[in-house]
């Protein structure tokens, strides 16, 4: 029995690793790099740079929409991969970021989750996870979120966020998160999620 669980866990982790590599690959703006290399010094490049470095007045409030897909959840008893056993879950994080400077902000996020299993679907959980935002160069942000779920679980969620495409109206981002949960008479767990969405400018 232990051997079976071990093999199952290995398969889930291998699947998670493949997804992780695919997500990281999508976060690299290949077109942007090649365009910059080909058009260094061009008027269009200078215009884009001027648009990106325009001064921002703080505090600034921006909203965002996204979707999030759990990849795998691990606890002391089991390893559960999304898309397994005829079950699939997807969340739709909606939030507001209050930016206080180029380096710091605060995020308020709500995530309803829809779960499909056995040919039927339902809203299975609502998550509220506010957190502090630590903003770095190259549009990279680390968000340290608390987590409170209507399912009775609670905990925290580190989020590693990267804006990979800037446009006039919205910025597109991808993120990896590792939700850590406790409570509701269940063992502590840790998971891996991938998230994609856009932020209104």
- When pLDDT is cut at 50, 70 and 90, the band that residue 85 belongs to is confident
Q: For domain 2-200, is the CATH number 2.40.160.20? A: yes
Residue-level pLDDT at 119: 86
In the numeric block, which tokens belong to residue 197? 């969405």
- Mean pLDDT for the stretch of residues 69-96: 94
Would you say residue 164 has pLDDT above 70?
yes
At which residue do the structure tokens 């993120």 appear?
Answer: 175
Residue 145 has pLDDT above 70, yes or no: yes
Q: Band of the pLDDT at 43, cuts 50, 70, 90?
A: low
Lowest mean pLDDT among 36-45, 72-81, 163-172: 36-45
Closest CA to 68 of 118, 108, 14, 127: 127
- pLDDT of 155 > 50? The answer is yes
Interatomic CA distance for residues 166 and 183, integer angstroms:
40
């Amino acid at each position: 029995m232990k051997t079976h669980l071990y093999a199952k866990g290995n398969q889930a982790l291998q699947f998670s690793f493949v997804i992780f590599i695919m997500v990281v690959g999508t976060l690299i703006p290949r077109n942007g790099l090649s365009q910059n290399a080909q058009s260094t010094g061009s008027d269009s490049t200078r215009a884009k740079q001027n648009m990106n470095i325009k001064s921002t007045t703080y505090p600034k409030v921006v909203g965002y929409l996204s979707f999030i897909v759990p990849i795998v959840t691990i606890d002391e008893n089991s390893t559960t991969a999304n898309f397994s056993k005829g079950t699939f879950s997807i969340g739709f994080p909606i939030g507001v970021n209050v930016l206080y400077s180029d380096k710091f902000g605060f995020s308020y996020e709500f995530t309803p989750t829809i779960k499909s299993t056995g040919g039927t679907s339902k809203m299975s959980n609502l998550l509220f996870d506010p957190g502090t935002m630590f903003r770095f160069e190259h549009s990279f942000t680390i968000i340290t979120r608390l987590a409170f779920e209507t399912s009775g679980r609670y905990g925290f969620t580190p989020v590693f966020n990267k804006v990979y495409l800037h446009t006039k109206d919205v910025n597109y981002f991808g993120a990896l998160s590792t939700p850590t949960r406790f409570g509701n008479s269940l063992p502590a767990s840790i998971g891996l999620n991938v998230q994609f969405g856009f932020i209104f400018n």
